[in-house]
Amino acid sequence: MLPKEKWKKAWEWKKLLAEKKTSPKEICEEYLKRAEQDKTNAFIKLTPEWARGVAQSVSQDSQDVMSGIPIGLKDNLVTKGIETTCGSKILQNYKPPYDGTVVKKLKDLQAVVIGKCNLDEFAMGSSNENSAYGSVSLPQKENYVPGGSSGGSAAAVAGGLVVHALGSDTGGSVRQPASFCGVVGLKPTYGRVSRYGLVAFASSLDQIGPLALDVQDCADMYDSIAGYDPLDSTSANRKNESCGLRVREVRESKSKRDEKLKSLTVGLPKEFFGEGLSDDVRASIDACIQKMRAKGVKFKEVSLPHSKFALPVYYVVAVSEASTNLSRYDGVRFGPRILPHENKTTLEEMYSATRGALFGPEVKRRILLGTFALSSGYYDAYYKKACQVRNLISQDFIRTFHDVDVILGPTTPTVSFEKGAKSNDPLSMYLSDIYTVPVNLAGVPAVSIPSGLGNHQLPVGLQIIGPSFSEPELLSAAATIESLLEE
């Protein structure tokens, strides 16, 4: 059973609220209760006071899709006065002096924030085993990973602890856990959602994205957070079109949906169906394709030839940016400070003791790699070269979208795996992002929706990729496929 069959979606709650069959307070208490009894460790911190405060003041009749709806925030989203740890000891007890833009928007919309969700430290990881606050379990199967880095957000949605949640996606960190947990996750076009107040991992790749039970909720949440922000220089100054409305159209009219399916041209990149793709995932995706074909969807085999370089390029670009983004955690202005020799500690000793003790191994590995890649004499061979190849990867997508509306494939090569299975083998862990990483490098939007179940009855994710700034078309395509799969 997929989470969306088990828990109420936001639009369902809104209906019940409109019919006065429940109240924001009741909804809030129901979710808080489940969150307090959570055994998956999805939260780093619960925020019941914040949640209750909003639930009490929000109007029963508020039309906005977010108002009164319990949500979770990945703990790398900055919340004023409320601990924001990034899953790291280096930000233990750090209370930011400001709200990020997205958090501010959700506050204004009176969303009910249940808590700050667990994550891999500084969003670096694919299994949520890299959190200083403990790993997160897959709600469907204990001792399995929920994916990462937005593992807590995905598990909270799948476990019914929140209605939907925000994550961040640098190389797949929203879509991969969405896929593992059987929920919907969107990585918007780079620049669509403000990064102001998102703790940076890799600035040119990071994007905040929603995790939800279905495409409708995902689209509604996206509408609430997207838009130009003058506080983020990489934010796109373009008009926003409502995705929620487009999805609603498809969902409410079967004929419209079928019409849309007939007009859809889908690209299947051969690079996403090759070696490394596990049989159960392949079977699930193939079954989807068959269903779609039967409804008249046109398929084309396409090629993204440079995507084979995506992982190495990603692990140069992302770690290089990360190595300097994380320089500010130095024990000087915030977070704990470690002085090994009390009164006689030198500055160098303070830096290395603080950073040495409070960063986890994966974060340190990436800082070292990034520092090396940017260092004098290596810059041209690594960072500069990686940026050039990144451009080629981006061109592959642009070219392909001349011929197809969307690109479709698996979100991840396998379903969720057991905790510990890959934690000592970073390279095999990195491979779980092989289909998601090219999307971040190209800056295009992509959504993962559940396609069915694979091994151990664990969810499989279908990734749909669109051209830059095509979220309305992308999400309405996702809604048609979702609706078809429900039949």
Active site residues: 74, 149, 173
337 burial type by CB count under 10 A (0-12 exposed, 13-18 middle, 19+ buried):
middle
State yes or no: residue 37 binds another protein (CB under 8 A). Answer: no
Which segments of 237-346 does DSSP mark as H helices, in order?
243-252, 254-263, 279-294, 310-325
Q: Please state the closest distance from residue 320 (CB atom) to another protein, in A.
A: 7
The footprint of another protein on residues 287-346 (CB under 8 A) is 320-321, 323-324, 327-328, 330, 332-334, 343
State yes or no: residue 167 binds another protein (CB under 8 A). Answer: no
- Three-state SS for 80? coil
State yes or no: residue 391 binds another protein (CB under 8 A). Answer: no
Q: Taking Cα atoms as reference points, which of 39, 172, 204 lies closest to residue 118?
A: 39
Q: Please state the closest distance from residue 479 (CB atom) to another protein, in A.
A: 32
Q: Please state the closest distance from residue 332 (CB atom) to another protein, in A.
A: 5
Q: Please state the closest distance from residue 233 (CB atom) to another protein, in A.
A: 5
Q: Please state the closest distance from residue 196 (CB atom) to another protein, in A.
A: 5
State yes or no: residue 357 binds another protein (CB under 8 A). Answer: no
- Three-state SS for 210? strand
State yes or no: residue 228 binds another protein (CB under 8 A). Answer: no
DSSP string, 42-73: -EEEE-HHHHHHHHHHS-TT---TTTT-EEEE
Q: Please state the closest distance from residue 303 (CB atom) to another protein, in A.
A: 28
Q: Taking Cα atoms as reference points, which of 441, 401, 420 lies closest to residue 309?
A: 441
- Kindly state the number of chain residues that form the binding site for another protein, as judged by CB under 8 A: 44
In terms of CB distance, is 292 or 313 closer to another protein?
313
The 10 Å CB-count burial string (b at 16+, else e) for 104-136 is bbbeebbbbbbbbbbbbbbbbbbbbbbbbbebb
Q: Taking Cα atoms as reference points, which of 220, 253, 208, 272 lies closest to residue 78?
A: 208
The footprint of another protein on residues 185-224 (CB under 8 A) is 195-200, 202-204
In terms of CB distance, is 78 or 213 closer to another protein?
78
CA distance 264 to 402: 13
Q: Please state the closest distance from residue 13 (CB atom) to another protein, in A.
A: 30
Residue whose token pair is 């029963």: 60
For another protein, which residue of 96, 139, 159, 267 counts as binding (CB under 8 A)?
Answer: 96
Segment near another protein (CB under 8 A); pick from 90-98, 269-277, 417-425, 458-466: 90-98
Which residues are within 8 A (CB) of 358 and not within 5 positions of it... i.e. 6 or more apart?
88, 89, 90, 92, 329, 335, 336, 338
In terms of CB distance, is 234 or 242 closer to another protein?
234
- Here the tokens at position 314 are 């990603």
Which residues are within 8 A (CB) of 199 and not within 5 positions of it... i.e. 6 or more apart?
76, 77, 78, 84, 86, 122, 123
Segment near another protein (CB under 8 A); pick from 130-138, 143-151, 369-377, 450-458: 369-377
Q: Please state the closest distance from residue 352 (CB atom) to another protein, in A.
A: 10
In terms of CB distance, is 233 or 424 closer to another protein?
233
In terms of CB distance, is 170 or 179 closer to another protein?
170
CA distance 263 to 238: 27
DSSP letter at 229 equals: -
For another protein, which residue of 98, 263, 361, 428 counts as binding (CB under 8 A)?
Answer: 98
In terms of CB distance, is 298 or 385 closer to another protein?
385
Q: Are the beta carbons of 477 and 407 closer than 8 angstroms? A: no
Q: Taking Cα atoms as reference points, which of 81, 93, 76 lies closest to residue 53?
A: 81
State yes or no: residue 468 binds another protein (CB under 8 A). Answer: no
For another protein, which residue of 2, 55, 86, 250 counts as binding (CB under 8 A)?
Answer: 86
Q: For residue 176, what are the CA distances in angstroms to 7, 338, 423? A: 21, 36, 16
For another protein, which residue of 166, 193, 319, 374 counts as binding (CB under 8 A)?
Answer: 374
For another protein, which residue of 92, 142, 286, 379 counts as binding (CB under 8 A)?
Answer: 379
Q: Please state the closest distance from residue 173 (CB atom) to another protein, in A.
A: 16
Segment near another protein (CB under 8 A); pick from 66-74, 95-103, 113-121, 283-291: 95-103
In terms of CB distance, is 306 or 355 closer to another protein?
355
The 10 Å CB-count burial string (b at 16+, else e) for 446-469 is bbbbbbbbbeeebbbbbbbbbbbb
Q: Taking Cα atoms as reference points, which of 439, 435, 70 lies closest to residue 278?
A: 435
Give the interface with another protein as residue ranges (CB under 8 A).
76-78, 84, 86, 91, 94, 96-98, 100, 195-200, 202-204, 230-234, 320-321, 323-324, 327-328, 330, 332-334, 343, 347, 351, 371, 374-376, 379, 383
